[in-house]
Amino acid sequence: MLFGNKELIFDKPLVMGIINITTDSFSDGGKFISNNLTSEFDLRKIIKEINFLEKSGASFIDIGAESTRPGYSPISTQEELDRLIPVLELISETKSIISIDTRKPEVMKEVLKFPIGLINDVSGLTSISGRKLVKNHNVPICVMHNSRDRTKSLEEDLDSFFKAQINQLTVFGIKEQNIILDPGFGYDKTFEENKKLLFDFDYSQYKNKVLIGLSRKGFLKKLFNEAKIEDIDEKSAIASIIAAENGANILRVHNVAKLSNKLEN
């Protein structure tokens, strides 16, 4: 599958690392802030982490500058770009596919001036301008199920949402093979629904590639009764492998090294 000018073969589950250039992401907000007295971000720390994720086995690196956690604080388009652009200017030689986690078409327009291989839009690429950009740049798009229709079962809801998204985007002119699906663990789903998505869902039923974001999700802490980051990273890796065994193709995690080691062993 092509991601910009790079090609990946999905003969095994691939790992996506996470870079949150934010102050309020749920588990790592503020990780790259220069010091406690300023809200500026340390580019050296960010680039060092990107290099580490790549060496640890990340086929993708998903970079986001606005938190999407419940109760997040929205930021302006300019602030999001001010966080993203300096990083993108320094990573042109990165071998991993660079994914940008954004909902704003204005941000998509600017970041697509760089060698971006994937747009990861948790809002489902609902804007016409966003769809035009994705179509014209022929860049893959990940769309996430983020709101439950409780008149339907979980399975029916996901199936109808994904079919509707694929239909709308392909009618618009976006290639079907460029649409990646994300069931949206933790987004408007109960503990039992998240468990069902993890243990009892067949992701191989879809022709499209499926991305799974389980890392450090609250329901895992409850499921495994874990609180420490190092412990939940271990469980996140195990849960990601379970999803892969059920047909998931891309596994999005904070601790790439831990998951990569488990996939190899």
35-71 pLDDT, tens digit per residue, is 654 458 888 899 999 999 999 999 999 999 998 765 6
Considering the domain delimited by 13-264, tell me its CATH architecture: Alpha-Beta Barrel (3.20)
Q: Which of 103, 216, 217, 258 is catalytic?
A: 217
Q: Where are the domains of the chain?
A: 13-264
Q: Is 252 a catalytic residue?
A: yes
Percent with pLDDT over 70 in the chain = 93
pLDDT at 203 over 90: yes
Q: Which of 31, 103, 235, 252 is catalytic?
A: 252
Residues in CB range of 175: below 8 A, 6 or more apart: 138
Residue pLDDT, tens place only, 114-160: 999 999 999 889 999 999 999 999 999 999 999 999 999 999 999 99
The answer, as to whether pTM is greater than 0.75, is yes
Residue 181 pairs in a beta bridge with: 143, 210
pLDDT at 28 over 70: no
Residue 213 pairs in a beta bridge with: 252
Q: Which residue has the tokens 């990569």?
A: 260
Q: Is 221 a catalytic residue?
A: no
Can you tell me the distance from the alpha carbon of 67 to that of 248, in angstroms, rounded to the nearest whole number? 24
